[in-house]
Amino acid sequence: MNVPFLDLRAQHAPLRDEILGLWAEILDSAGFVGGPHVAGLEAEFAAACDANHCLAVSNGTEALVVALQGLDVRHGDEVILPANTFFATAEAVWLVGARPRLVDCLPGTWNIDPEAAAAAVNDRTVGIIGVHLYGQPFDADSIAAVAARHNLWWMEDSAQGHLATYKGRKTGSLGKVAGFSFYPGKNLGATGEGGAVTTQDAALARKMKLFRDHGSEIKYHHEIMGTNARLSSVLAAALRVKLRHLPAWTEARRSHAASYQARLRDVPGLRLPEVPAFANPAWHLYVVHVDDREAVAKALGEAGIGTGYHYPVALHLQPAMAYLGHKAGEFPVSEDNAAHCLSLPMFAELTEAQIEHVCANLRRVVAG
């Protein structure tokens, strides 16, 4: 049996005709920028996140940049974020001229440690970015409390968090602003690159909208400096089709995660993801931790099972981040994750038989 890590073709096959029909309409109308599909996606995604405002943007990195620009983050500012995340969280902070201030994560959820965030605040700190890593919501109330104590904003990097809930509330509705990625492999993936920001704040939404569109609301009148971070209507149309299926796909992921948790619970040497009572994850990734994961990944590969490492190098040890002056050993939990994480196949169309094949082989390889 073959179990790919991710199977996007299986996701798209039943949607193919509908998406191609919309693309033909767009081609015939030549309405490639803006228009009803972008506006429709924004309204529908805002509703899906219980957010008042959504702006579609060109990718998830740009979503974070647009959010940071909207919050007036500037050169000399520091923004706290976890060392255990995809590189783009820190890159966005660098792109607006600010300094990423890395902190460690908590074992088990591998999400930002609120106490570490509190300890990292200094007089240059302007805000905190929590990341709903692997689709697992971070402890938003604890981060909000740290932010409130120090008069900071806090935002969500929800690139992996679509439709996850924290204490029953949707990610994207929690912080001052949230950034989403619609990279093809994400829970809501575009047929290309895409992203979005969500917020409850009308003034911030307007500012981000200006920034996304050359600082302009009226053609050729530029109120502020901005950029072109728009999403194309061809991508928006396909995303609207896929968004209708996202609740069902998310439930399927939750069911697969429950199946993994139950089947792998008693495998010695395997650490499973911990889900706090506040969280209903979206399971973008199902990540276990195991010694000698290269050997395990190789053996699973030989059994036809795709795996991944998310992520094999913590941010503070990335060559590009050397300018921050960190050392190995500084963020031990993030380093533990980087050394031992192993992502198992996770996508809505997985079958029980495939999950059983993964679990049986993992048990065989890890437990002997």
Ligand X SMILES: Cc1ncc(COP(=O)(O)O)c(C=O)c1O
| 246 part of the interface to ligand X, by CB under 6 A | no
Cα–Cα distance measured from residue 299 to residue 293, given in angstroms and rounded to the nearest whole number: 10
Residues of span 190-209 touching ligand X by CB under 6 A: 193, 195
Residues of span 111-140 touching ligand X by CB under 6 A: 131
Give first-to-last CA distance, the chain, whole Å. 20
Tokens 């728009």 locate to 230
Shortest CB 144 distance to ligand X, Å: 19
| 283 part of the interface to ligand X, by CB under 6 A | no
Select from 142, 88, 154 the least CA-distant residue to 115.
142
Determine phi and psi for 80, rounding to 5 degrees: -80, 135
* Binding segment toward ligand X, per CB under 6 A, in 2-10, 40-48, 155-163, 221-229: 155-163
Select from 276, 306, 285 the least CA-distant residue to 133.
285
Residue sitting closest to ligand X (CB): 60
Shortest CB 102 distance to ligand X, Å: 14
| 314 part of the interface to ligand X, by CB under 6 A | no
Strand order in the sheet with 279-280: 169-170, 165-166, 279-280
Q: Which is nearer to ligand X, 85 or 233 (CB)?
A: 85
Shortest CB 81 distance to ligand X, Å: 10
Cα–Cα distance measured from residue 331 to residue 196, given in angstroms and rounded to the nearest whole number: 30
Shortest CB 48 distance to ligand X, Å: 18
Q: Which is nearer to ligand X, 82 or 345 (CB)?
A: 82
At 166 the three-state DSSP class reads strand
Among 159, 282, 300, 321, binds ligand X (CB under 6 A): 159
What letter would DSSP give residue 89? Answer: H
| Cross-strand pairs, 172 | none
Cα–Cα distance measured from residue 13 to residue 236, given in angstroms and rounded to the nearest whole number: 18
| 61 part of the interface to ligand X, by CB under 6 A | yes
Among 85, 109, 125, 361, binds ligand X (CB under 6 A): 85
Among 104, 139, 157, 336, binds ligand X (CB under 6 A): 157
Q: Which is nearer to ligand X, 42 or 193 (CB)?
A: 193
Cα–Cα distance measured from residue 305 to residue 359, given in angstroms and rounded to the nearest whole number: 10
Interface ranges with ligand X (CB under 6 A): 59-61, 85-86, 88-89, 131, 157, 159-160, 181, 183, 193, 195
